[in-house]
Structure formats: C-alpha cells, structure tokens
Structure 1
C-alpha cells in the first residue's frame, strides 16, 4: 500500500519532467533558428552613419527627385528588368503599369534597397542610393507593399509604427486620408481594437488602408504605393485617391496599379512589359497611341460595364 502511494506521488513529477524535457527541446530548436537569423550577414549594406558622412544633411533637405539610370536587375540568372531609364522630378507623380510579371514591383524594390540593381544606378537627388545609410534612406521612403504585414497590437499602434509621436488629431487626419475612419467607427474599441496576428481580424481592404495610413504617418519625401488598393472596390479607391491628392502635394509619388483608373490623373505613366519600357506618357497621349496601355484601359472599362450590368436590372419591366 505504501509503495502504491509513493508511486502515485511520483506520477505527476515524472509527467512534468517529461513535459519540461520536451519544452526544452522545442526551445533549443527555436533558439537555433533565432541564432541563425541573428548571425546572418546581410547582403544589402550601406555606409556607416557618422559625423563625416554627408548623407544626413542630404536627406534632411531631400527634394525627392528619383532616377533609374540604365537599370537592369536579375533574380539569379533570370533578368527581369532591362535597361530601365526613368526620371521623376521632385514633387511629381509617376505611375507604373503593365501585365502581371512585367517587373513593376522589382523596379520599385530597388529604391529602398530591398535589392540592388545588377547594372546601372538608382539615384535620389542625384546621389546613388548605395551611398546613403540604409536607416536614413528608408526613413524618407513611405512604402506600401502588396502584402501587408500588421502586428498583433492595437490599430493605432500599427498606424504609428516607426513614428515617435502621433497626436489624436493627426491620427484622425491620417485615417481620413486612408479612408479608415468609417471602419474604425464600427470597431468595438475604435483605434484601440486589437487587429490580431498579421491583422487577422481585418478584411483585405482594411489591411491595405492601414498600411497606407502607416506610410502617410511617416510623412516621407517619397511615397511608393505598390498595388496598394487592389483589395478595395472602385468607389473606395476613388475616395482614397481624392484624399491622397492633399498628401501627394509637394511629395514625389510612385504608384503601381493594375487599374488604369487609379493612375490616369498622374503626371507621367510608364508601361512595362517583360521587364522593358514599351510606352510612356500621359493618360491621354497613351490612349491616342493605341498600344498596350490603351488595350488595358479598354478591357477594364468593359469589365466595369459588365459588372454594372450584372448588378443592375436588364429587364426592369419584368
């Protein structure tokens, strides 16, 4: 009887010991992966920031002129951009359009140095981006990617991420520009609502608008929107663009979009196909040209007409 009692007393400690051993093994495996990441040497490096480095005053007074000069880029042996030449004057707007896989995202990823060009130069105010410290370079670029990453923190913290201080009034202005205000009013806890891991509680459009609000909050000299409104409907997109006009004033803006309606009012439009510039000009000039852009525009108009027809009543008398 005593033996059975002692055995019963040992049962839970033995189970707990096995659980601790298993937990330790999981932790060791996780720590190994963390160490691999922390010890990895980045391939993209910039000059050290020091008092002798003249990048700090340059970026404090940045005007925002962006130039891609004879730029080519390859993923391994596969070249995806071929001799790209584009210049965006400070304070002006550029649209980059083209079929899927034409190299649009690859091109704008060279600006904040997610990758480096295989050939040619990417310049800001006539200074090669490789000569600018990475932290200073990326501080001046507000980038809204296709795939939005949100943290499991309140909505307001996701918007103000990377910004030292954001007043309530400024937060409301930013949300209005990104067309988030109405959504936030419907949230149970407003701007303090937890968005969940990677924004799981938000819709695709809400995630994109939150990412847009985050970029606006930085007040960057250069704003880059990489198909940032693909998950919103055309009416919401029109409202966002209307409010973005004030944000874009005096700020260099580069917009990638599959919708020609998104970019038709921008200063200059570049059309990419298979990594090459095939057309460029204003919306009106490209329509008159009758090339790839005009074909894309006609297809999109037809798609919108079909959508309106499907949503309407073809036979109102029945």
Structure 2
C-alpha cells in the first residue's frame, strides 16, 4: 500500500545517504593518512650542530633565493650582520622580499646552504625544534582557532598562568578590548577569529608570540590593521620586551621602524639602503622619500 511504499522509499534514501557518507569518510581517512605518512620537505639534516642556548645573532652571507629552481630570484645577494639583542627593521614596497627574508630565519622555507646563520651556525644544521622554539613569529595574516581568547594566546605555552596571559595581552594592546568583551579572556572568537576585527586578531597573535618569551621576535607588518594611535601605544609597551631580544620588524609605516638599531631598505629583492632613521634621512634616498610621502599623507588626513 501507499504507506509501505513511502517507508520503502525513505529506507532506500537513508541507505544511499549512509553509503555516500561512509565512502566520503573513507576518502577523508585515506587523505589524512597520506598526509601523515608524507615526509616533510623541511626537516633536520645531518650532521646537526649543538648550539646550546640560542642567543639570537643573525647574519646573512650573500643570500640569493628563488622559490623554484630556474625561476627569478626574489632575493639577491643579501648581506647583513645582526648582533643578539638588536632591533632590525625591514622597509620596502610590496613584493620587495621582506616577508620572504623573515620566513627563511625559522626555516618556513629553506635558505641555500651556508647563507643564513644564527649564532654563527648555518640554520640548516640547527635542530629544527630548537631553532623554532627560540623564535616567535607574527605573520601579516594571522590564524586563530575557534576557541577562547585565552586558549588562542596560550597556544604555544599551555602551562602559562592567567597572570602571564593577561600580561601578554596587555603588552599587545588588548587590555581595553578585553574589558569590553562579555567574558574577557574566555570570550570565544569563532573560526579564524571571525568575531574579532583585523586589528584585534593581529594583537591576539602578537600576545601569543610574546607569551613564549622568544630570543628572536619576527614581526611581519603585524600592526598594519591597527590605527596609528593604537600602534604607538603597543610600541611603547614593546620597548621593554625588545630589550635583550633580537627583533626583526617589517612595516610600511616609518613611525613603526624609526627607533630600530638598523633599518634595511629593500627593493626588488636587494638591500638598497641601510642605516639608522637619522642616517637614512640624511642620505635623501628611497627611505627619505617614503618618510616625506607619509608626512604629507598625515598632514592631508589631519585637514
């Protein structure tokens, strides 16, 4: 009868859905298994050096880099020496190679052998876990998990106390935001930080890096989404954090980099100028032009 026919139809439909979902689950399981079995492209390479405690000096020796063999290099003949505890700023137009240079230090991508050294040792000879544990990196595009602000900040330091998490949040300029959130540190941020503004996401990522107290701090234009006033407040907080740490600071804003010990100006993958803020203004080159343009933009914005 009609009722039996409907029941039969629904049963068949359920069987098809179950079969399809089972097949999809099996495909996903195989894909995950394949990923887990894949040997990572970047890994420890023998013979490894034993660096002891990493202090944070970094030097590049005629480093040229291309993403694939035979392609146009994105970095050309990069040379610099940074002593432990110095703050180095990287300035240049989009595509100049600043982010690529930063990514080579923790071996997110591999530099050519013998071209990049931390504490005098080729980074490719340092144990990868040891190298990365000494580095805190805040990329331009931050990634937050669907969890609380506390869990996102403490991601790399799960043993951190509430007081330590709050201090990292304060240094990153999140104090006022936390006071406005309904549940403070326990506020859920949604997948990829959906409920936070761009500036708030960047500051959570900055707090995450600061909580780990790394010897090297790599900041890749990580305050680009905050206004100038908030940025100045955060930089004021960070001056104490920078002391005794090696800091690489990428920014398009002169106001962010002017207090660095040395500023490297990149263009088309080459260092075209280097020096302090005052020295580079005196040269009257690319950095001075950028400084003049930004001053003009600020004056026009104030009108």
Tell me whether 1:266 sits opposite 2:260 in the alignment: yes
Q: CA deviation at 1:44?
A: 1.0
Q: 1:130 aligns with which of 116, 120, 124?
A: 124
Q: Which runs of 5+ in 2 are unaligned?
A: none
Structure possessing the higher radius of gyration over alpha carbons = 1
Q: Deviations over 1:26-66 (max 9, x none)?
A: 22332343233223222211147xxx9653xx34x221111
Matches within 5 A, 1:220-231: 220-231=214-225
Q: CA, structure 1 residues 53+277, in 2 after alignment: closer, same or farther (shift >3 Å)?
A: closer
Tell me whether 1:252 sits opposite 2:262 in the alignment: no
Q: CA deviation at 1:4?
A: 3.7
Distance 2:48 2:225 in 1: 42
Q: Is the 8 A contact 1:70 1:119 kept in 2?
A: no
- For 2:23, the equivalent position in structure 1 comes to 25
Q: CA, structure 1 residues 218+161, in 2 after alignment: closer, same or farther (shift >3 Å)?
A: same
Q: 2:54 aligns with which of 53, 62, 66?
A: 62
Q: CA, structure 1 residues 241+149, in 2 after alignment: closer, same or farther (shift >3 Å)?
A: same
Q: CA, structure 1 residues 212+296, in 2 after alignment: closer, same or farther (shift >3 Å)?
A: same
Matches within 5 A, 1:95-174: 95-118=89-112, 120-174=114-168
Q: 2:204 aligns with which of 206, 210, 231?
A: 210
Distance 1:209 1:226 in 2: 13
Q: 1:12 aligns with which of 7, 10, 13?
A: 10
Q: Give TM-score, length-normalised by structure 1.
A: 0.91
Q: Give TM-score, length-normalised by structure 2.
A: 0.95
Distance 1:9 1:103 in 2: 64
- For 1:42, the equivalent position in structure 2 comes to 40
Q: Deviations over 1:176-221 (max 9, x none)?
A: 1000011111111111111111111110000100110000011100
Q: Is the 8 A contact 2:49 2:121 kept in 1?
A: no
Q: CA deviation at 1:277?
A: 0.6
Distance 1:253 1:272 in 2: 17
Distance 1:54 1:83 in 2: 25
- For 1:282, the equivalent position in structure 2 comes to 276
User: 3-state SS of the aligned residue for 2:73?
Assistant: strand
Deviates further, 171-180 or 11-20: 11-20
Q: 1:197 aligns with which of 180, 191, 194?
A: 191
The count of residues paired between Structure 1 and Structure 2 equals 301
Q: Is the 8 A contact 1:140 1:220 kept in 2?
A: yes
Distance 1:289 1:54 in 2: 41
User: 3-state SS of the aligned residue for 2:155?
Assistant: coil
Q: CA deviation at 1:290?
A: 0.3
Q: CA, structure 1 residues 54+278, in 2 after alignment: closer, same or farther (shift >3 Å)?
A: closer
Q: Is the 8 A contact 1:257 1:263 kept in 2?
A: yes
Q: CA deviation at 1:112?
A: 0.4
